[in-house]
Each structure stands twice: as C-alpha cells, then as structure tokens.
Amino acid sequence: MMMMNNPTMLSYIRREQSVLNQILAAYPEQIGNAMAQAPEDTHHWLILTTASSLNAAKSARLYMEHTANIQVDVQDAEYYANYGHINPGIDTVISISLSGEDPDTIAALKKVTAGSHAYTIAMTSQVKSQLPTLTDATVDILTGKETIPYITLSYSALMLSLMFLGLRSAANRNLMTELAANQELDEFGLLIEHINETIQRSNDYYRKFTIDFGLADQFTAIGPSVVAGTLAEMETKFTEIVRVPTNGYTVADFTHGAYLGAHENHRQFYIELNTLPNVMQKQAAVKTFESNLTPHIYTISFTGEQPTEKDEQTLILHQVDDVLKAPLLAIIPFQVLAWFIAKAKGINLSHSIFTKFQTVVDGVDQPK
C-alpha cells in the first residue's frame, strides 16, 4: 500500500488505475478464497451497505446478475437493520463497510445471519476490523484507508471487487468456460488501462468549460438505467463536494416527471452508451428537447461515435462495448469534475462545515 503525504481527492483518483490493476492481479487468490466455500446451488444474493458504497453496489449489480445468473438485492443497511424482511431464499450475503466498523452494516448483518443460513462475505479496506470476524469470508479491496472524507478510489475498488465475485461464482459453477472467464478478465484489464486516459481527458474537458461549470447553480446527470448507480453517485459526489443542488436520473425517471424541474440555467450531463436502441432513441429525444430549453448541455460519450451534429460540448471517451462494465469508467469524469469545480470555488474539502449538525446526529447514536 503506497503512502501519500497530504493526499487529496485527486491523489486518490489518480491511483485508481494502479489499484484496480492490483485487484485484477489478485483475482485468482483473493476472490477465489472468498468464494471457495460459497454454495454451488446459489440463486439469491443480498448486499448490505450504506452511502457511496451503496451506489457502488448498484453499479455492480447488473453485471453480477447477468454473469452469475443470480438475483442480487442491494439494500441500505440502516433500512434493513430497522425495517427489512429476512427473505429465507437469500443464500449469500455481502456486507460492505470500508472501516469494517459501521454500526448499521454490522446490525444488518447480525439480523440476517440470525434469521438465515446464508453464506456471508465481508468487503472492507480494513481486514482487522470487526466486520470480518462476523462473516465466513472476507474480501480486502486493497485500497488501505482512504483518508479524505469523500471516497473515490474505494468506490471504484468496491465496484470491481463485487463484479469479480459474480464472475468467480459463474466460473465456479461452470456457467462459463475457463477461456470465457479469462476473456472477461482481459476485457476488465483493457478498461482499467484506459482509466488514466479518462482522467486526463476529463481534466481537459473541465478546463474547456471552467467558467460555465463554476457558475452553475444546479447540476443534473441523465443516462440509461444500466448506469443508475453511477447517476446516484454523481448526485452524491456533486452534492457533497461542489455543494450545489444536484440530481442523477435515469432516462425513465427523468421522463416521468423530473423534466419539470429543468430551467434555462440548468447544467445537464448525458451519459451515452451503446445500449438498447429504444433507450438510446429516448435519451436522444430528451437531449434534443432539453437543448431548446438550456444551452448548458454536456455529453459524456462511451459510444466511440463522433457527435452526429457539431457538438463542442461532448467528451468522447474510450468505447465501452459491454455496457454492464461501463460503470467502471463512467464515474471517473464526475469524480474529476467535482474535484476541479470545488477547487475553483475555493471549497476546502478537508474542512468540515456544519460540524454542529454532525455532533447532533452522532449524539443520537450514542447510548444514553
């Protein structure tokens, strides 16, 4: 684990390619060990976590489901611990806490293990914490402790590690040949090799529109539901870091009412992927309509296609052929933009605002 002096959010973003390559290299042993005792007859998985880790789980879910032929439920740990129903059909549970000490995640895990016989996996960056002592297996996401308040590197590491659990389950259960599994790993490797390029292009894109981004009083990201987790994380990151009202909507959600909140000063980002034709057509129609309302239309494209019309506001990134893997690259432009916009605004991310709020909230959780 490389140590950094006075790391920033950008420092961690710039480590994503190297750390995800480490996770890829560790796949046979790391993920193999975690899945060694997993049930062969598996159908229904449950992921329990909170905050940005929840968005990472949502980003990995579709790949896991399609690859391993399973159902994956992603639940907020606090909700599950207090109100969730224990489904006896759940056979595998993944509990995620970067610190390994999150009380909601631990409470949710204890609830489900008390009421089921599911195989349990802890996913954390701190393997000597409490969470791994409560599970059958552990996955170390190999990031070490991310010392800044708003995670980026850990988010991407969680996503890849979860996808790898799905891949290993499929391979162990002979749902794919060894050759096919290795081809999947090669495809992941190719995407990882484009992370630094994605960071640099996003950096250049920010510099092109520095003033317009800095003047924004509202941001919205819109994209296919296959990147719903990315859209949720964009909303989380921009709200936390840029600190202006921000939303992330799937095309379906946007067309079912969210479009009514659009206005002429609205900064909108569209994530474009080579996905289902009907989804692409609907998104194109939305973008065209919104372009008549606001000039602040920005596109982040993974299609490999040049814009059909002259569009100087499109960021063209590496073509992603498997949309289920697209979240690995799709979040990076938003991480980069959030950092640079906040820096230009003079926001000190290491300084906690609303400390009184945190004190009050934390006090509620303390035993009386």
pLDDT tens, N- to C-terminus, the chain (368 residues): 444 567 899 999 999 999 999 999 999 999 999 999 999 999 999 999 999 999 999 999 999 999 999 999 999 999 999 999 999 999 999 999 999 999 999 999 999 999 999 999 999 999 999 999 999 999 999 999 998 889 999 999 999 999 999 999 999 999 999 999 999 999 999 999 999 999 999 999 999 999 999 999 999 999 999 999 999 999 999 999 999 999 999 999 999 998 889 999 999 999 999 999 999 999 999 999 999 999 999 999 999 988 766 688 999 999 999 999 999 999 999 999 999 999 999 998 877 766 666 677 666 665 44
> pLDDT tens digit string along 275-294?
999 999 999 999 999 999 99
SS3 248: strand
Residues 116 and 88: beta-carbon distance below 8 Å? yes
For 272, the enclosing helix (H) or strand (E) is strand 267-272
pLDDT of residue 28: 96
HEC profile for 59-108? HHHHHHHHHHCCEEEEEEHHHHHHHCCCCCCCCEEEEECCCCCCHHHHHH
Two structure tokens written together for 108: 């949710």
Phi, psi values for residue 355, rounded to 5° = -60, -30
pLDDT of residue 367: 47
269-308 in b/e form (b: 16+ CB < 10 A) is bbbbbbbeeebbebbeebbeebeeeeebbbbbbbbeeeee
pLDDT of residue 5: 63
Give the distance from CA 156 to its chain's centroid. 6
pLDDT of residue 350: 76
H helical segments located in 259-345: 277-291, 327-330, 332-344
What is each CA distance from 156 to 192, 329, 346, 356, in whole angstroms?
10, 9, 26, 31
Query: How far is the first Cα of the chain from the last one, in angstroms, to the nearest whole number?
Result: 39
pLDDT of residue 306: 80
Whether the model clears a pTM of 0.75, i.e. scores above it, the answer is: yes
Q: List domains and CATH numbers for the chain.
A: 9-192 (3.40.50.10490), 195-344 (3.40.50.10490)
pLDDT of residue 358: 65
Q: How far is the C-alpha of 288 from the C-alpha of 281, rounded, in Å?
A: 11
Residues 242 and 341: beta-carbon distance below 8 Å? yes
Residues 121 and 88: beta-carbon distance below 8 Å? no
Identify which of 165, 136, 160 has the alpha carbon closest to the alpha carbon of residue 65: 165
Please, which residues have CB within 8 angstroms of residue 175's CB and are 6 or more apart in sequence? 67, 68, 69
Sheet holding 297-301, edge to edge: 246-250, 219-223, 267-272, 297-301, 314-316
What is each CA distance from 246 to 191, 324, 335, 358, in whole angstroms?
28, 25, 14, 21
